[in-house]
């Protein structure tokens, strides 16, 4: 591709991105832009983000204190926390304990120290893409039934220890035709998404339909603008996720 054509494409993409409104994209995807908030943040609440690499986002695991930019990574958890702290000051404490590569059973292995002991008032969980992806590339033999059962057991364990915790469940997502994600993922991966929503409904948790959000965004700007490989987000994709997360917060 010659330099002039690359410049033209770059300017065209930048122009399209500038013309879109991320809040409008999220509202269009979720379909209820004016609905009542599902989760209310109260003074002194502890907010915990949990999940895999999408939540981890390169955080410094040596930093354990809440509201620490290095501890929060560079993804949606950091961007969401920034808004929370702007609106609620330091009375709210925000932690990120996502770890790259994790599946549900690996969350369970570290749950006592990385969740229960932190005593979150709000627990946000985004988990599931590796429970499927690693069956394709990592030799993992877990099934959809294992994912469902492990997820329920983890929530039951959490509610036993923290009966008043407010739950947010993010939908695992995959953006097709961007590097790692191909037609081979579907329809099998869709069942993991549906299971996450079923669990959210079962436990009356707030649910974030990230797949719809990314699908809607991909109609406005190329999918590669939002995600680097179909799973991990660009900075714009992280902002998209943060806007969707904040959509369920009061």
Catalytic positions: 53, 229, 232
**Cα dihedral 137→138→144→150 (10° resolution):** -150
């Amino acid at each position: 591709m010659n330099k002039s054509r690359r410049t033209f494409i770059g300017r065209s993409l930048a122009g399209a991105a500038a013309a879109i409104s991320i809040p409008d994209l999220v509202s269009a995807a979720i379909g209820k832009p004016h609905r009542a908030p599902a989760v209310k943040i109260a003074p002194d609440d502890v907010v915990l983000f949990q999940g895999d690499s999408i939540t981890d986002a390169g955080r410094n695991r040596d930093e354990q204190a809440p509201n620490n930019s290095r501890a929060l990574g560079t993804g949606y958890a950091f961007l969401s926390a920034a808004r929370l702290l702007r609106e609620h000051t330091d009375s709210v404490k925000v932690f990120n304990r996502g770890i790259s590569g994790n599946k549900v059973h690996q969350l369970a292995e570290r749950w006592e120290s990385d969740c229960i002991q932190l005593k979150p008032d709000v627990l946000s969980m985004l988990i599931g893409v590796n429970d499927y992806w690693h069956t394709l590339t990592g030799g993992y033999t877990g099934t959809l039934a294992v994912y469902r059962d492990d997820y329920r057991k983890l929530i039951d364990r959490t509610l036993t220890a923290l009966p008043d915790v407010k739950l947010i469940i993010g939908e695992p997502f995959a953006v097709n035709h961007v590097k790692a994600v191909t037609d081979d993922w579907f329809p099998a991966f869709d069942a993991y998404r549906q299971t996450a929503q079923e669990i959210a409904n079962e436990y009356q948790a707030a649910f974030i339909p990230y797949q719809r959000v990314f699908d809607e965004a991909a109609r406005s700007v190329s999918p590669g603008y939002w995600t680097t490989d179909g799973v991990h987000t660009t900075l714009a994709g992280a902002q998209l996720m943060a806007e969707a997360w904040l959509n369920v917060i009061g």
